[in-house]
Amino acid sequence: MSDITTIENEALAAVAAAADLEALDAVRVAELGKKGRVSGLMGSLGKMSPEERKENGPKLNALKNRVNDAITARKTELEAEALEKQLASEKLDLTLPPSPGPKAGALHPVMQVFEEVAAIFGDMGFTVAEGPDVEDDWHNFTALNFPEGHPARETHDTFFMKAQEGDTPKVLRTHTSPVQIRTMMDQKPPIRILVPGRVYRNDWDATHTPMFHQVEGLVIEKGTHMGHLKGCLIDFVKAFFEVDTVEARFRPHFFPFTEPSAEMDVKYTRKGETIEIGAGDSWMEILGSGMVHPNVLRNCGIDPNEYQGFAFGMGIDRLAMLKYGMPDLRPYFEADPQWTRHYGFAPWSTPSVSGGLS
C-alpha cells in the first residue's frame, strides 16, 4: 500500500496546521472518523488475502496510532494557547469586595413589617414602647374600660394563668393596649407612642392564630381631634402600601376604650392572588381606631377636660399577608426554612421612609 506514506504526511501536516480546536476536530473526523481516510484503509483489510493482511495490518495500525498521537499532542498545545489568551484578556481586580456567599438566613416577614411600620410612624414623631406579655386584670381590662361580663374576659377568648386561691388570675395579654395604660400612668402628656408586640387569643384557623403580632399607636395632646386621627392613618396606609392615593372611609364601631370609635376601610382590587390597595371598587377593613375614652384617661390620672387623644391598632401578620401576598397565617409559625427563604428579607436592609420600605 504505497499511499500510506502519502496519507500520513498529509494528515500530520493538517494536524500541525490546525489553528484552533474546531479545525483540529475537523482533521480528526477527516482522517479517523467513520468515513475518514485512515478508517477507510483499515476497512480494506477484510478484502485482503492473509499474506497481505499480515504485511499491511501492522503498517495501518502504526499509521492510525501516529495520527491519533499527533492529534492528541496538538490538542494539548491548542488548549494551553487558549488558556494563555484567556488569562491575558481577563484581569482580576483585587480591590473589589468578595462575592456574597449563599444566603444563610432571612428576616421573617413579620419582623420586616414591624420595621416598616416603625419607620413610618417614627417619621411622624412616634417612639416605640414595650411591656410584659403576662398582664394583670387591671392593665388588660379594667383600666381600658372593659365592663364585667365582656366576652374578652371569658376563657373562650382569653388565656388565663393559674392563680392562687383568692387571687385574680393573670392573663396572656389580648392586645398591646396595656402598654398604653402603663405609659399614661408613668409619663405626663404630650404622649406619642407606637406599641408593637405579641398578643394571645384562643383562636386557630387560616386567618387567626393563638399567638399573633399587633401594633398600636397612642397620641395624647391638647386639642387632638378626629381629623388628626384620620390624617395620620391615611398617611400611614399610603406610605406602607407605597401608593400615591388611598380612598378610605371610617365606619362607626364600638371599642370599650375609645369613643367615638371607627374601623378604617380602604378600597382595593384583586388581580389573581394579589391585592392592590388604593384601586378598585371593593372595601377592606384594615384597622380599628378612635378617640381615647374619657374613662381611660381618668383611670390613668389624666384630666379628659384638658387632654384628648386618639388610638389605633392593627394586626402585623395581616398587614404582611396583604402587602406580600401570603394566603395563610399558619406557616408564619412553622419554622419552614424554604418558606422563610421565599418570603424573607435581607436582614441588613433597614426600611426607611426616604430610602424605601420594601
Chain segment 46-87, per-residue pLDDT in tens: 777 878 777 777 877 887 888 888 889 989 998 998 888 888
**What type of residue sits at position 73?**
A
Q: Average pLDDT of 326-343?
A: 82
* Residue whose C-alpha is closest to residue 243's, from 339, 322, 127, 140: 322
CA gap 195, 192 in Å, rounded: 10
- Note whether residue 135 is domain-resident: yes
Furthest CA-CA distance within the chain: 127
pLDDT at 99: 74
Comparing 106-120, 245-259, 306-320, 333-347, the range with the smallest average pLDDT is: 333-347
Identify the CATH number of the domain in which residue 334 sits: 3.30.930.10
pLDDT at 155: 59
User: Are 27 and 68 members of one domain?
Assistant: yes
CA gap 161, 174 in Å, rounded: 13
pLDDT at 299: 95
Query: 61: which DSSP letter?
Result: H
User: Are 116 and 244 members of one domain?
Assistant: yes
**Binding residue positions:** 259
Range of the domain at 186: 109-343
User: Are 82 and 113 members of one domain?
Assistant: no
CA gap 311, 261 in Å, rounded: 9
Flag whether pLDDT at 127 surpasses 90. yes
CA gap 221, 345 in Å, rounded: 37
- Note whether residue 357 is domain-resident: no
Q: What is the grid cell recorded at 320? A: 404582611
Q: How many structural domains does the chain have?
A: 2
Q: What percent of the chain has pLDDT over 90?
A: 42
pLDDT at 1: 53
* Residue whose C-alpha is closest to residue 292's, from 312, 311, 306: 311
The tens digit of pLDDT for each residue in 260-307 reads 999 999 999 888 777 888 888 899 999 999 999 999 999 999 999 999
**Binding residue positions for Mg(2+):** 259
Domain termination residue (choose one: 90, 119, 142): 90
User: Are 127 and 66 members of one domain?
Assistant: no
DSSP E strand stretches across the chain: 127-128, 134-135, 171-172, 191-200, 211-221, 248-255, 258-271, 274-277, 282-292, 308-315
Q: What does the buried/exposed string (b/e) look like for 82-106 if buried means 16 or more CB atoms within 10 Å of the residue's CB? A: eeeeeeeeeeeeeeeeeeeeeeeeb
User: Are 150 and 259 members of one domain?
Assistant: yes
User: Are 141 and 83 members of one domain?
Assistant: no
- For residue 2, name the pLDDT band (cuts at 50, 70, 90): low
Look up the pTM and report it: 0.67
- Note whether residue 246 is domain-resident: yes
User: Are 335 and 249 members of one domain?
Assistant: yes
According to DSSP, the β-strands at 248-255 and 191-200 are: unpaired
CA atoms within 13 A on the CB side of 100: 6
User: Are 318 and 211 members of one domain?
Assistant: yes
User: Are 81 and 185 members of one domain?
Assistant: no
Domain termination residue (choose one: 58, 90, 122): 90
CA gap 188, 184 in Å, rounded: 7
- For residue 25, name the pLDDT band (cuts at 50, 70, 90): confident
Flag whether pLDDT at 36 surpasses 70. yes
DSSP E strand stretches across 149-257: 171-172, 191-200, 211-221, 248-255
Contact 234, 246 (CB under 8 A): yes
Flag whether pLDDT at 141 surpasses 70. yes
CA gap 21, 15 in Å, rounded: 10
pLDDT at 149: 77
Flag whether pLDDT at 96 surpasses 70. yes
User: Are 215 and 135 members of one domain?
Assistant: yes
- Note whether residue 354 is domain-resident: no
Flag whether pLDDT at 250 surpasses 80. yes
Q: What is the grid cell recorded at 317? A: 401578620
User: Are 320 and 257 members of one domain?
Assistant: yes
CA gap 290, 271 in Å, rounded: 32
User: Are 14 and 66 members of one domain?
Assistant: yes
